[in-house]
Structure 1
Amino acid sequence: MAAIRDLGVDTIIRYYDNVAETLPCKTLVPEETQAILQAGFSLLAVFQHNNDNPMTFVTPGRGTLDAQRAIELALANGQPSGSAIYFGVDGVDGAIQSANYEYAKSAGGEISPSRQATLKASMGAGSFRKHQEFYDIYREEAVDLFGGTAGKHGPHDILPYIDTYFRDIQTIFTNFGNQTGIRYKIGGYGGGLVCEHLLSSGMVEYCWLSQSKGLAGYQSFEASQKWVMRQELTTICNGWKFGTGGDFQFDFNTVNPRTPDFGQWNTQVDYAVPFSRPLKRDGVGCYAWRD
């Protein structure tokens, strides 16, 4: 952390996630919060649990569940009232575009073995798996989910589901604030189209622009200066190694000088609220420095 501080970093952004994390050690926990704040950083939290999958937003009730878990973690980490929790919309508008492109390339059928090999080589196995899973759902349910004609959908067709997701979050946050007096602001992370939509509809107070310049609306939203942060391309620190091997890497973010307050916090409140710890994987836990 001292080395990161020497790079000029002021705020560390960490994840909130469900108990069954999408990545081991993804979830911010109180011990880490305390260490980060004591090292002189501010913190910002973003909730992500398969928020790169369009079906997360299509699934009824997911916004409610994610909001409840986010509040549980905010209390456990001593996140003070008045700060923000961001929720990811991680390229699902682009996934609609990709499914439509695939629909045309594959003539509405299954992806051929030769094309599968090409996509795996260009996208990587993990990204291809996600692409194929959603494409298979799209082939069967496109009209039921999005109306219109299969193969003719675009990024705007996911927006009604994103609306529902964030309305559910707003309801949970508002009710919680009314009951407790603890009020968390809502932020969004996503591409330009999604950020513009969330801000203009009043569903978020802040929007953090994704580094994915290929997503719809990136250039216009960047130029609008409505973003509070702009995510930059991934930085790889040669010589800094993860415990599991591989080079340490992270994304710098540029803070808009117009909005130096974007929901970060630098104090920890002891709410004395227990919470559901992330699950252990292979006997190893992530919620203490030694486990």
Structure 2
Amino acid sequence: MPEGLSTNRKCEKYATCLADQLQFVIRYYSRTTQDPEKRISASEANALSGAGIDIVVVYQDRAREMVDFSHHRGEQDGQSAFEAAGAIGQPHGSAIYFAVDTDVSKDQIAAYVVSYFQGLTARISQLSGGAPYYRIGVYGSGRTCATLKSAGLVQLTRLAEATGWGGSRAYQDWDIKQFVTAKPLCGLKSGAWQRCVTSKDDFGAFKPIGAVAGGKTKPSLLKVIADNLNLRNVPTREGNTPIAVLPHGAQVEMLGQSAPDWARVKATLNGSEFTGHVHTGYLEPMKRALAAPGKVVALPKLPEAYWKLDNKDARRTSTSSRASVIGESGAPRRSDATGAKQVKMLTAILQWLDVAVSERYQKSDGKTFCNVYAADYCYLAGVYLPRVWWTGSAIAMLAKGQKVVAAYDTTVREMRADDLYRWLLDFGESFGWTRFSDLTELQAIANAGGVGVICADRATDGLPGHISVVVPETEAHKADRDAAGNVTQPLQSQAGGTNYMYGSAGPHWWLGKQFVGHVFFAHV
């Protein structure tokens, strides 16, 4: 009988040891937990699978009071579970068990729990575009398992270890059974895990899409045939914002099918690797991998463009000369120092620019100046983010090796936030910018003295996008993090409708419907 364990502790570092003794590990999805180890991460799932261990997942926030069970709460938890499954690459057809971690009566099941499972099933079905991508299971008492399975609300059951709960002693139709366990195992302390067994060949366990135990296989390469293809967190168009947009002809590595008509893939954009889900209707096999280019004519690197560099009229107390980067004397600069010294310098730049007060960045005549502020901050930090950039004709001349002098609206033009979005994608890498998908990494770079930006492109032509800078955390000002310490909202500074030395346009402002795309970039 296959053996496993259930735990709310991270198992990544114990994977090799556990693989010698177990066939599966049960871990958790959760939206509201404050326990930093409860939620399984993609890296942990890959480590377990790499060691040859199958994974079973249970969705549980609290699930012990009747207020935790309603149709609406089921819809919320179903969506959260679906998103978590997509993030770690859980394959279509495997199971998500949902916890009912209390001894509920027959009347309570009828009044609360049934509605909860109806809600979560409805939401997962909606997100799946029909039949649910994942099978639904329940963790709970024998009474709960039997009632929900006979009602057709679950396909799989995991019997809790509490034999005193209603119907548990008599219930035999379980797929997984849990036992009280009180001994350490592979670094997991006594009481931190429970022994589980299964008598079934199929109990909803899985390995993440693309995970290969013991090594790697030859990658299957495909190319994008759409003009643009959204790379998504989960395999559906419903209710999730793309991670990135893959251009026509982009090469992707197929990790495996994630749902009908969807695949989990890896792609490299601006030198950084992204993993997500795409619709397979916009992919076709590559006859061969993209060949290394032959002999090419190297174009000269485009120089930085400025309009009136060191312009003394471009100062904090003036609203003129915004096309120039800040030229006021006495401005602090970030030097080539490292670590804590650079952080102090960046903090000094923030305080000196004083975006909330300085006239240069204040909204006027319906215009906002996030682009001006971001360019000034980067300039003082020794990082190039253009306040003006070369026109197309100027770039053509520069490519021919001709000397070009900055002439306003002739050879250079001002850059709005939506222009900066495109510039970062097209030219950022050649000026030291690296694209990121992970907000935790982005904040870590700022905390180490680097410069980060978040930039979003406006969906409506002619309207500006928005850009904010990601800044080092202080004792008084912190990024928002989840229970596991992952950054959910970096610490930012911005000009805009409201100016903040520390603050932004709101949680996940870049996901607003007014924006058609967003990017995270950092300059180390």
Fold-level similarity (TM above 0.5): yes
Matched, 1:191 2:123: no
Superposition pairs for residues 1-291 of structure 1, below 5 Å? 1-7=15-21, 9-18=22-31, 20-57=32-69, 59=70, 61-93=72-104, 155-160=105-110, 161-178=112-129, 183-222=133-172, 226-237=173-184, 240=187, 247=190, 249-256=192-199, 259-269=200-210, 270=264, 272=276, 279-281=481-483, 285=485
Structure 1's 239 and 172: CA in aligned 2 closer, same or farther, altered over 3 A? Answer: closer
Structure ranking higher on relative contact order (CA contacts 8 Å, 6+ apart): 1
CA-to-aligned-CA distance 1:89-139 (integer Å, 9 cap, x gap): 01141xxxxxxxxxxxxxxxxxxxxxxxxxxxxxxxxxxxxxxxxxxxxxx
Amino acid corresponding to residue 264 of structure 1 in structure 2: A
TM-score (norm 2): 0.38
User: Whole-Å Cα distance in 1 between the matches of residues 48 and 106 of structure 2?
Assistant: 39
SS in 2 for 1:174: helix
Shift of 1:285: 2.0
SS in 2 for 1:173: helix
Instruction: Please tell me whether the aligned partners of residues 56 and 204 of structure 2 are also in contact (alpha carbons under 8 angstroms).
Output: yes
Amino acid corresponding to residue 41 of structure 2 in structure 1: V
Instruction: Please tell me whether the aligned partners of residues 18 and 186 of structure 2 are also in contact (alpha carbons under 8 angstroms).
Output: no
Shift of 1:239: 8.6
Instruction: Please tell me whether the aligned partners of residues 23 and 54 of structure 2 are also in contact (alpha carbons under 8 angstroms).
Output: yes
User: Whole-Å Cα distance in 1 between the matches of residues 191 and 187 of structure 2?
Assistant: 5
User: Whole-Å Cα distance in 2 between the matches of residues 197 and 219 of structure 1?
Assistant: 15
Shift of 1:22: 4.1
SS in 2 for 1:220: coil
Instruction: Please tell me whether the aligned partners of residues 34 and 482 of structure 2 are also in contact (alpha carbons under 8 angstroms).
Output: no
User: Whole-Å Cα distance in 1 between the matches of residues 439 and 103 of structure 2?
Assistant: 28
SS in 2 for 1:240: coil
Shift of 1:25: 1.8
Structure 1's 39 and 81: CA in aligned 2 closer, same or farther, altered over 3 A? Answer: same
Structure 1's 248 and 220: CA in aligned 2 closer, same or farther, altered over 3 A? Answer: closer
Shift of 1:175: 1.8
CA-to-aligned-CA distance 1:131-184 (integer Å, 9 cap, x gap): xxxxxxxxxxxxxxxxxxxxxxxx1121121000000111112222226x8711
Query: In terms of Rg, which structure is larger?
Result: 2
Shift of 1:247: 4.7
Amino acid corresponding to residue 114 of structure 2 in structure 1: D
User: Whole-Å Cα distance in 2 between the matches of residues 44 and 214 of structure 1?
Assistant: 25
User: Whole-Å Cα distance in 2 between the matches of residues 236 and 74 of structure 1?
Assistant: 31
Amino acid corresponding to residue 203 of structure 2 in structure 1: F
Instruction: Please tell me whether the aligned partners of residues 101 and 139 of structure 2 are also in contact (alpha carbons under 8 angstroms).
Output: yes
Deviates more, 1:62-71 or 1:167-176: 167-176
CA-to-aligned-CA distance 1:181-223 (integer Å, 9 cap, x gap): 871100001000000001100000001100000100012213x
CA-to-aligned-CA distance 1:26-57 (integer Å, 9 cap, x gap): 11111111111111111111000011222201
Instruction: Please tell me whether the aligned partners of residues 207 and 227 of structure 1 are also in contact (alpha carbons under 8 angstroms).
Output: yes
| Structure 2 segments unaligned to the other structure (5+ residues) | 1-14, 211-263, 266-275, 278-436, 441-479, 488-524
Amino acid corresponding to residue 23 of structure 1 in structure 2: D
| Structure 1 segments unaligned to the other structure (5+ residues) | 94-154
User: Whole-Å Cα distance in 2 between the matches of residues 72 and 276 of structure 1?
Assistant: 17
User: Whole-Å Cα distance in 2 between the matches of residues 238 and 228 of structure 1?
Assistant: 23
Shift of 1:252: 1.1
User: Whole-Å Cα distance in 2 between the matches of residues 285 and 204 of structure 1?
Assistant: 33
User: Whole-Å Cα distance in 2 between the matches of residues 210 and 21 of structure 1?
Assistant: 20
RMSD of aligned alpha carbons:
2.7
User: Whole-Å Cα distance in 2 between the matches of residues 201 and 6 of structure 1?
Assistant: 39
Kindly indicate which of the two structures has a greater share of residues assigned to helix.
1
User: Whole-Å Cα distance in 2 between the matches of residues 81 and 205 of structure 1?
Assistant: 15
User: Whole-Å Cα distance in 1 between the matches of residues 166 and 156 of structure 2?
Assistant: 19
SS in 1 for 2:203: coil
